[in-house]
Structures are given as C-alpha cells and as structure tokens.
Amino acid sequence: MAVIVAVLGVAFFVAQTCQQSQIRLTKEQAIAKAEARVPFEPDRTQIRMLRQGITSEPFWIVSLSVAGESDTEFRELAIVKIDANSGKVDSVRIQR
C-alpha cells in the first residue's frame, strides 16, 4: 500500500512539473501582448523562446524597436519578457 501511495505521489509531482513547463502562449500572442505594453509602434520585431530556472520555465523574449539613422542604432527599443505558460508579462524594459 505504501508503494502505491509513493508512486501516486511521484506521478502527481511529475505531472505538475510538466504542466508548468508547457507553452500555451503562441508566438503571435506574445508579440501582440508585447506591442500592447510599449508606447511606440515598432518597425522591427524579434522573438525567441528562453527556458529559465531549475524547472526550465518557458519565456518569450520579444524585442521591439524603431530604427535609428544607422543599422546599429535604435530610436526606441523595448524588451518584453512574457511567461509562455501563463501569458503574464514578467518585465518590460524600454530604452529611448
């Protein structure tokens, strides 16, 4: 009986861990969420998936920018970090 309870406990823990590392937010949804959080209309958008922490939680990192006078400059730049599982915006950094 104790072995069955232990196996069920381990199975529950594994299921919860897997649930937290799922990607529920699509790339397009992440971009739309990021654009809604910045005070400018971006010319360029870059997005990448990054897993962080011991549990490898997935985050979308969205870079939004307005080009400057050269290819190496930006008039405006924002980096938005979004939890790919919950859709919660974790951070917004804006440079002008």
Question: What pLDDT is stored for residue 61 in this prediction?
Answer: 98
Query: What is the structure's pLDDT at 69?
Result: 86
Q: What is the pTM of this model?
A: 0.76
When computed from its CA atoms, the radius of gyration of the chain, rounded to whole angstroms, is: 19
- DSSP-derived secondary structure letter, 60: E
- Please check whether residue 58 is in contact with residue 85, taking contact to mean a CB–CB distance below 8 angstroms: yes
Domains and CATH numbers, the chain: 2-95 (3.10.450.40)
Give 10-residue mean pLDDT values along the chain (96 residues). Answer: 75 58 90 96 95 90 92 91 95 93
Predicted confidence at residue 41, as pLDDT, reads 95
